[in-house]
Amino acid sequence: GAGVSQSPSNKVTEKGKDVELRCDPISGHTALYWYRQSLGQGLEFLIYFQGNSAPDKSGLPSDRFSAERTGGSVSTLTIQRTQQEDSAVYLCASSLGSLPGYTFGSGTRLTVV
Protein backbone atom coordinates (compact mmCIF):
# COMPACT_ATOMS: atom_id res chain seq x y z
CA GLY A 1 0.00 0.00 0.00
CA ALA A 2 0.90 3.66 -0.12
CA GLY A 3 1.56 3.91 3.59
CA VAL A 4 1.69 1.98 6.83
CA SER A 5 -1.80 0.98 7.90
CA GLN A 6 -2.75 0.20 11.48
CA SER A 7 -5.99 -1.19 12.83
CA PRO A 8 -8.01 -0.54 14.79
CA SER A 9 -7.40 3.18 15.13
CA ASN A 10 -8.98 3.13 18.57
CA LYS A 11 -9.52 0.29 21.00
CA VAL A 12 -11.16 0.37 24.40
CA THR A 13 -10.86 -2.79 26.42
CA GLU A 14 -11.52 -3.97 29.91
CA LYS A 15 -8.69 -4.69 32.27
CA GLY A 16 -7.65 -8.32 32.04
CA LYS A 17 -8.76 -8.83 28.43
CA ASP A 18 -6.42 -9.67 25.57
CA VAL A 19 -6.04 -7.34 22.59
CA GLU A 20 -4.52 -7.67 19.14
CA LEU A 21 -3.21 -4.73 17.18
CA ARG A 22 -2.49 -5.04 13.48
CA CYS A 23 0.08 -3.38 11.25
CA ASP A 24 0.26 -3.54 7.46
CA PRO A 25 3.65 -2.21 6.39
CA ILE A 26 4.57 -0.64 3.08
CA SER A 27 4.91 -3.33 0.45
CA GLY A 28 8.53 -4.35 0.01
CA HIS A 29 9.71 -2.96 3.33
CA THR A 30 11.76 -5.61 5.04
CA ALA A 31 11.96 -4.01 8.47
CA LEU A 32 9.02 -3.48 10.82
CA TYR A 33 9.03 -1.79 14.21
CA TRP A 34 6.57 -1.37 17.06
CA TYR A 35 6.72 1.57 19.45
CA ARG A 36 4.52 2.73 22.30
CA GLN A 37 3.81 6.33 23.20
CA SER A 38 2.14 7.26 26.44
CA LEU A 39 0.36 10.60 26.72
CA GLY A 40 2.81 13.49 26.44
CA GLN A 41 5.81 11.18 26.32
CA GLY A 42 8.37 10.13 23.74
CA LEU A 43 8.33 6.87 21.83
CA GLU A 44 9.29 3.68 23.60
CA PHE A 45 10.78 0.94 21.43
CA LEU A 46 9.04 -2.44 21.75
CA ILE A 47 10.12 -4.88 19.04
CA TYR A 48 11.86 -4.95 15.65
CA PHE A 49 11.57 -7.42 12.76
CA GLN A 50 14.12 -7.49 9.96
CA GLY A 51 13.55 -9.92 7.11
CA ASN A 52 13.82 -13.53 8.23
CA SER A 53 16.05 -12.78 11.19
CA ALA A 54 14.95 -13.43 14.74
CA PRO A 55 13.09 -10.37 16.05
CA ASP A 56 14.71 -7.97 18.50
CA LYS A 57 12.34 -8.20 21.47
CA SER A 58 14.52 -6.23 23.84
CA GLY A 59 11.94 -3.48 24.34
CA LEU A 60 8.94 -5.59 25.30
CA PRO A 61 7.99 -4.48 28.83
CA SER A 62 6.70 -7.84 30.07
CA ASP A 63 5.85 -11.36 28.94
CA ARG A 64 2.26 -10.22 28.44
CA PHE A 65 3.45 -8.57 25.24
CA SER A 66 4.23 -10.54 22.10
CA ALA A 67 4.35 -9.88 18.39
CA GLU A 68 4.60 -11.85 15.22
CA ARG A 69 5.11 -11.06 11.61
CA THR A 70 3.62 -13.42 9.07
CA GLY A 71 5.09 -13.90 5.61
CA GLY A 72 7.43 -10.98 6.10
CA SER A 73 4.50 -8.60 5.85
CA VAL A 74 1.62 -8.08 8.27
CA SER A 75 2.43 -7.90 11.97
CA THR A 76 0.25 -8.39 15.02
CA LEU A 77 1.09 -7.09 18.47
CA THR A 78 -0.73 -8.99 21.20
CA ILE A 79 -1.15 -7.80 24.76
CA GLN A 80 -2.50 -10.39 27.17
CA ARG A 81 -4.32 -9.62 30.41
CA THR A 82 -4.25 -5.90 29.74
CA GLN A 83 -3.54 -3.48 32.57
CA GLN A 84 -4.38 0.20 32.87
CA GLU A 85 -0.72 1.13 32.43
CA ASP A 86 -0.87 -0.42 28.96
CA SER A 87 -3.03 2.49 27.83
CA ALA A 88 -1.06 4.33 25.15
CA VAL A 89 -0.77 4.86 21.42
CA TYR A 90 0.90 1.92 19.74
CA LEU A 91 2.80 2.94 16.62
CA CYS A 92 4.07 0.73 13.86
CA ALA A 93 6.73 1.73 11.35
CA SER A 94 8.38 0.06 8.39
CA SER A 95 11.50 0.71 6.39
CA LEU A 96 13.79 -0.77 3.79
CA GLY A 97 16.19 -1.49 6.64
CA SER A 98 18.52 1.15 5.35
CA LEU A 99 18.36 4.77 4.24
CA PRO A 100 16.40 7.03 4.28
CA GLY A 101 14.27 6.29 7.33
CA TYR A 102 11.08 4.90 8.78
CA THR A 103 7.49 5.47 7.69
CA PHE A 104 5.07 5.42 10.60
CA GLY A 105 1.42 4.53 10.70
CA SER A 106 -1.12 6.68 12.52
CA GLY A 107 -1.18 4.37 15.48
CA THR A 108 -3.72 2.52 17.57
CA ARG A 109 -4.93 4.34 20.65
CA LEU A 110 -5.47 1.70 23.33
CA THR A 111 -7.49 2.55 26.42
CA VAL A 112 -7.76 0.00 29.20
CA VAL A 113 -10.65 0.65 31.57
Partner 1 sequence: LAKTTQPISMDSYEGQEVNITCSHNNIATNDYITWYQQFPSQGPRFIIQGYKTKVTNEVASLFIPADRKSSTLSLPRVSLSDTAVYYCLVGDPGDKLIFGTGTRLQVFP
Residues of this chain that interact with partner 1 (CB under 8 A) are 4, 31, 33, 35, 41-45, 48, 50, 56, 59, 91, 93, 95, 97-107
Compute CA distances 45 → 4, 8, 28, 52, 57, whole Å: 17, 20, 22, 20, 9
Least spacing, CB of residue 37 vs partner 1, in Å:
9
Least separation in angstroms between CB 81 and partner 1: 26
Nearest distance from C-beta of residue 108 to partner 1, angstroms: 11
Measured CA to CA in angstroms, residue 67 lies from 14, 57, 80 at distances of 20, 9, 11
